[in-house]
Amino acid sequence: MTVKYNLDSVKVERAAREWLVERGVQTEQIAKLVLDAQKEYYPALTADECTAAVNRVLSKREVQNAILLGIQIDRFAEKGQLDSPLQELIENDEKLFGCDEVLALSIVNVYGSIGFTNYGYLDKLKPGILAKLNDRTDNECHTFLDDLVGAVAASACSYIAHRQQAKAEQERSGLPGAGETVGASLTGADGAPAD
């Protein structure tokens, strides 16, 4: 007798978060990328706000799906278990293989097109945790993960840009409350594409 399949969303989210940690990526390290990218625009931005933004992005199913799939492929590549020539393409992070960028863009898209630029910039410069993921001195393979982490950071930057706008509009309008609270109101101030 087969057990009927039922999607368990809690399990999926938990797995996505755990797999990130197992592969060496802490939420705080992604938040650091966000803070460094955004502090020139929002000097008062805190590390906690960035962590909250990253957590928000990680709560989206589309993001979780991409993380699970990308890490799974990296794991197989690391163990040499992919079939040739895919194994060589991924193991060597072949420049002309772009499926990792494709998956990453599906994360960025959830928070709208304004994240494209931040994604590309992070992916080119590889600051912080991204540099560590690209350091190929050990036998780890993070062909997909580095792009996914960059995409999560870029999406969190987009989220923050939307939140900061909502806050600024509230302050101008003299409305009470701030941030999250008003974001969920019906004032229309919450124009964030994905929240």
Taking CB under 8 A as the criterion, which residues in 47-106 touch a second copy? 59-66, 68-69, 72-73, 75-76, 82-86, 88-89, 91-92, 94-99, 101-106
Residue 88 CB, nearest approach to a second copy (Å): 6
Give me the 20-49 binding string for a second copy, x by CB under 8 A, dash otherwise: ------------------------------
Identify the residue among 33, 54, 149, 192 touching a second copy (CB under 8 A): 192
Give me the 101-140 binding string for a second copy, x by CB under 8 A, dash otherwise: xxxxxx--xx-xxx-xxxxxxxxxx---------------
- Which residues, in sequence order, are CB contacts of 159 under 8 Å at separation 6+? 53, 56, 57, 111, 192, 194, 195
Tell which positions 153-182 bind a second copy, by CB under 8 A. Answer: 161-162, 165-166, 168-169, 172
Residue 137 CB, nearest approach to a second copy (Å): 14
